Amino acid sequence: MDALTIADRTFTSRLIVGTGKYSSPGVMVRAHEASGAEMVTVAVRRVNIADRTKESLLDYIDTAKYVLLPNTAGCYTADDAVRTARLGREAGLSNWVKLEVIGDERTLFPDNEQLLEATRTLVREGFVVLPYTTDDPIVCRKLEDAGAAAIMPLGAPIGSGLGIQNVNNLRIIREFARVPLVVDAGVGTASDAALAMEIGADAVLMNTAIAGAQDPVAMAEAMKLAVRAGRLAFLSGRIPRKMYATASSPVEGLVGR
């Protein structure tokens, strides 16, 4: 079976989804179901002490069915990210973390310097670190050297829906990657996810593309199919690109020639 293995876990699905920006918990639950995802990302935030009536996210996510992947969204320094990761571990009793250290509020591009520092610290503390990073092959290599369990370069800025901005960089990253490669961020529609898998990514992570779609449940299904299609195409060994035509039918036996 074409299973995805990251650290000590094996997955059937190569689509990882988020839990943010949904119009309602009900829509989120149905979208997750339609996506076929087996792992979902969650953010770590202060409990609202004043308003205790709010329901908890965990009321809606079946943790027997989905692996929770805490992220360090909103952290701008290695210290904050490490602190949040430690809290996430205790809240979820799992040592997996999607590590985000953001460098800029508008673009949400990662601060790779702080990201590397946080990765080293968390790997030392026994975390399974999945760092969200840029499509820079050198940074990806350094993250691997630092002990990251996977590398997660962005396709485009978070929530931008621009798709894969630098196909060639991702191809280069794929060629040299020694750990699973997950394209994370920037996916807009199904073809973007399929392209990521055709390039050879091991998985795709997305949130906004599904949650922000007009019909999130339908889009979730589209993404499930796209990831499968892209993966199958990758494994099938595509034809080379050619500048001109190569006729499919024989030239001999043409009437009138």
Footprint on this chain of other proteins (rule: CB under 8 A): 18-22, 28, 41-47, 49, 52, 56-58, 68, 70-71, 73-74, 83, 86-93, 100, 102, 108, 158-159, 207
Among residues 223, 221, 164, which one has the least CA distance to residue 189? Answer: 223
Clarify whether 98 is annotated catalytic: yes
Shortest gap between Cβ of 47 and other proteins (angstroms)?
Answer: 5
Among residues 103, 133, 104, which one has the least CA distance to residue 116? Answer: 133
Shortest gap between Cβ of 216 and other proteins (angstroms)?
Answer: 13
Looking up tokens 């901005």 gives: 165
Question: Which CB atom, from 63 or from 168, has the smaller least distance to other proteins?
Answer: 63
Question: Which CB atom, from 129 or from 174, has the smaller least distance to other proteins?
Answer: 129
Looking up tokens 């027997």 gives: 64
Residue type for position 125: E
Contacts 24+ apart (CB under 8 A), 45-54: none
> Do the Cβ atoms of 187 and 163 come closer than 8 Å?
yes
Distance of CA 41 to the CA centre of its chain: 9
Question: Which CB atom, from 132 or from 234, has the smaller least distance to other proteins?
Answer: 132
Catalytic-role residue among 21, 54, 65, 98: 98
Shortest gap between Cβ of 127 and other proteins (angstroms)?
Answer: 12
Question: Which CB atom, from 94 or from 171, has the smaller least distance to other proteins?
Answer: 94
Please give the positions annotated as active site.
98
